[in-house]
Amino acid sequence: MDRKPRPLPLPPVRRAAWPVGLLVALCFTTLPLFLALSPGRPTLLDVWQQIGIRVAVHYDDEPKPSSEPSDSPLESRDILLGGLLSPDVSESTCLSRYLSSLYRKASPHSPSPYLVSRLRKYEALHRRCGPGTPLYDKSVRQLASAHNSMGLAECSYLVWTPGNHLGDRMVSMASAFLYALLTRRVFLVDMAKDMAGLFCEPFPGASWELPPGFPVHNLTQLRRGSEHSYGSLLGAKKISNDDPVGVRSESLPSYAYLHLAHDYQLPDQRFFCDDDQTVLEKVNWLLLRSDLYFAPGLFLVPQFEDELRWMFPATDTVFHHIGRYLFHPSNKVWKMIQGYYTSYMAKFDEKIGLQITTLARNPVSTEAYFNQIAACTSQEKILPEVDPKVASSEHEAAATSSKAVLVISAQPEYAERLKSMYYEQATVTGEHVSVLQPPGAGNQPQNHKVLVEMFLQSYCDVSVVSGWSTVGYVGHGLAGLSPWLLLPPRNQTVAHPPCVRAMSMEPCFHAPPSYDCRAKTNGDLGAVLRYLKRCEDVDNGLKLFD
């Protein structure tokens, strides 16, 4: 009877290596399991995806991918932005969703696998609990009662209400959606009349618009001190944060209003405290009004810290990713964006966005502010200087390269002055500079014009924006660019230096809370976390950086 040959003994080096292999195996099994099972930590699936192991999972309630033709010209492009966007939206219903990124340079900032996973799970939640579903109808009936008589419902909601102009609204919407992601709430938008037809629906197979007939009326009239504001509820002892863990959901009001606008005060600012978030978690409906980019404040809440780090390993990419996920101009608005870019911007070698906003509370003359802008673009080599002795026509034919300056401002004088300067005089570098200004609103709604301008700015290679401008923040945030910030005037005098390079592409949180929840006293929140600093353009503002 033949015997199988015995295997050769392992070389001594391999024998000595087996404890190391065992240790590595234990790390890859027990550490992710520990993280996944710990409170507030990602799931095991998310852990594997974060360390680079791809796992295919099918959710029964997710729709099958739309059947797009395999020979589509978009197939070879990363139109889904590294998985940030779901493919389950037809191209024809929202052209900008798949085409807008093609007008920008490819972003070097990829979304984390965990953020991608959370977005897909959120979309499934929105389809299950959003408007038109039985669970939504059940929750609305519960909202009509005085208290959470049914306790915690299967679905909870965050309703965003508009305030101020479009730039403020977009940065606050991005912050509110991030909060909904962190708290597993369905994000709904009380779409104002002046926002009708502005954006596509961002969530596949579901609507983010608050349906008519909502039991709480006059949402836009909610203000600081409103009866149902969180601060007022605390003051009236209708909500207690003394024992946040012990608070029963049945004892809480059916909804609370979160006032996070620029004029908020304590105790509304306690929204950013850990204990208060534990209480708010048990309120099924939260209504929120804000004109601020309050996303940096969410990093101050200890129970959110870990998940935020998993979502955004690079902490200066929050708006870049959330903004590109949420905001897709409607086909009507996209037609204006695409038409202007193709006709006027596409042919230039370099495109520079110049977004100019003047502050009414600290005015300077148009001439003085224009000189500040010119000093900034000259000193930082953003635009070439002109030779007053040589007419531009003498060098036009021999121009080595072409630059376009897209001037976005409510005051046309700035574009006219810049246009006159480069039209009449040649540049010392031999470059040809053209000055562009998008047309006025005409018969189009004002917000359509503003959205067009923000997206055109996001297609520029360099961004120069006025300090404090949320319109500017949106443009360079979508582009993924750290802008040059024109510092605001002080004492009715232009700033020196005229501009600084921003430390990150993140918008500034203009009015962060003054109360440090960890220290339980007022303090400098710019010194609490290593990735939060004071803004360059707003003295008391907070900004995320990496």
pLDDT for 38 equals: 45
pLDDT for 151 equals: 59
**Does position 222 have pLDDT exceeding 70, yes or no?**
yes
CB-hemisphere CA count at 13 Å for 442?
5
Tens of pLDDT, residues 329-348: 999 999 999 999 999 999 99
Tens of pLDDT, residues 463-516: 999 999 999 999 999 999 999 999 999 888 999 999 999 999 999 999 999 999
**Does position 125 have pLDDT exceeding 70, yes or no?**
yes
| Residue 442 pLDDT level (bands cut at 50, 70, 90) | confident
What domains appear along the chain, each with residue ranges and CATH number? 81-326 (no CATH), 348-505 (3.40.50)
Give per-residue burial for 268-282: e unless 16+ CB within 10 Å, then b.
bbbbbbbbbbbbbbb
- Report the alpha-carbon distance of residue 390 to residue 512 in Å, rounded: 51
End-to-end CA distance of the chain: 70
Q: Which residue has the higher pLDDT, 86 or 142?
A: 86
- Tell me which residue of 329, 304, 433 sits closest to 100, measured CA to CA: 329
pLDDT for 510 equals: 97
What is the maximum span of the chain, computed from C-alpha positions, in angstroms? Answer: 105
Mean pLDDT value across residues 96-117: 96
pLDDT for 57 equals: 36
- Report the alpha-carbon distance of residue 114 to residue 533 in Å, rounded: 25
Mean pLDDT value across residues 355-374: 90
pLDDT for 20 equals: 46
Mean pLDDT value across residues 316-333: 98
pLDDT for 363 equals: 83
Three-class DSSP category at 331: helix
pLDDT for 394 equals: 56
